[in-house]
Amino acid sequence: MPAVLCFLIATFLWGSSFITLKVAIDFYPPNFVIFLRMLITLVICLCLWPWVKRFKYQQGDWKWLLIMSLAEPCLYYLFEGHAMQFTSASQAGVIVSCLPLLVAFFAYFLLQEKLSKNIIAGFSLCITGGILLSVVSPHTDHAPNPLLGNSLEALAMVCAAIYVVAMKHLLNRYSALSLIALQGLSGTLFFAPFLAFMEWPQQHDFYALMNIVYLGSAVTLGAYGMYNYGLQRSSVLTAAAYSNLVPVFALLLSALLLNEVLILWQWLSIFVVFIGIMVSKRHEQSAVESTLNQA
């Protein structure tokens, strides 16, 4: 499957997660939602055990595996789950648009991946489009404490950037499914102790539970599977550029499912993001040409 198609599917699923996560968190505590989400992912991976067990540990990788697991899902979901309680989706979109820059920063120092003119220009367009999309979008969510919420979302983006770089390194040595299974296990163990300190609702909501099932299956397993598959076959910087499609798909799905009308400036912002991704994609071609010239 082409890497571009993988990134499109992954970002579409992640975009849909904003709607389902909001529904689930409105009824259940964030830590419970994330715990059950990780547990569902782990159970599905256990059903795929013949492929998961192909994991063969290589000496010295425990540091990368630990960094990956702590960054995402543990700390990332902890920060973002609580951030959505205090800030609006539009303000969070401004923070999410900075993810490519953070990935570029960590990739440059940890993976020695060079920054080309195409990737810098593409990132600039993506970030501009992401910020413009967040600014011009009407405020539909309440933000009781935006400073706290945006700070938590910024910490979540730092964790996401570290995760992308660590995953890029590990995908050269392990299968994507094995790493997702490890994420499900680490996330389940990490969030299990939080259950003892939560206030449980007096009754359960079937619709909210189905949204959590969707998060643990289609989003966590499907989106991470597609994204890791594409990441294995492309530059970590190009992969990061596609993250700006997440708020775009979230906005489009909100318009489709929640009957929200998109204004002209929102369509213009979406167009700018897509142009930035196309420019960033040329980073792949430049890297291949450079490798061939050196050979």
pLDDT of residue 295: 46
Are 123 and 273 in contact by the 8 Å Cβ rule? The answer is no
pLDDT of residue 212: 92
> What whole-number distance in Å separates Cα of residue 87 and Cα of residue 14?
18
> What whole-number distance in Å separates Cα of residue 271 and Cα of residue 275?
6
Residue 295 per-residue DSSP state: -
pLDDT of residue 186: 93
pLDDT of residue 196: 84
Are 116 and 256 in contact by the 8 Å Cβ rule? The answer is no
Are 263 and 29 in contact by the 8 Å Cβ rule? The answer is no
Tens digit of pLDDT at every position of the chain (295 positions)? 788 899 999 989 988 887 787 788 888 888 888 899 999 999 998 888 888 877 788 888 889 999 999 998 899 988 987 877 777 665 666 677 677 777 877 777 777 766 667 667 766 776 676 666 666 655 555 557 767 777 788 888 889 989 988 888 888 888 888 888 899 999 999 999 988 887 777 788 888 899 999 999 998 888 988 988 888 888 777 777 787 788 778 777 777 776 666 667 767 766 776 776 677 666 554 544 444 345 4
Element counts in the chain: helices (H) and strands (E): 15, 0
Indicate the pTM of the whole model.
0.77
Residues with Cβ within 8 Å of residue 1, at least 6 apart in sequence: 229
Comparing C-alpha atoms, which of 42, 14, 274 is closest to residue 180?
42
Comparing C-alpha atoms, which of 19, 34, 37 is closest to residue 249?
19
Residue 48 per-residue DSSP state: T
**Amino acid letter, 150:** N
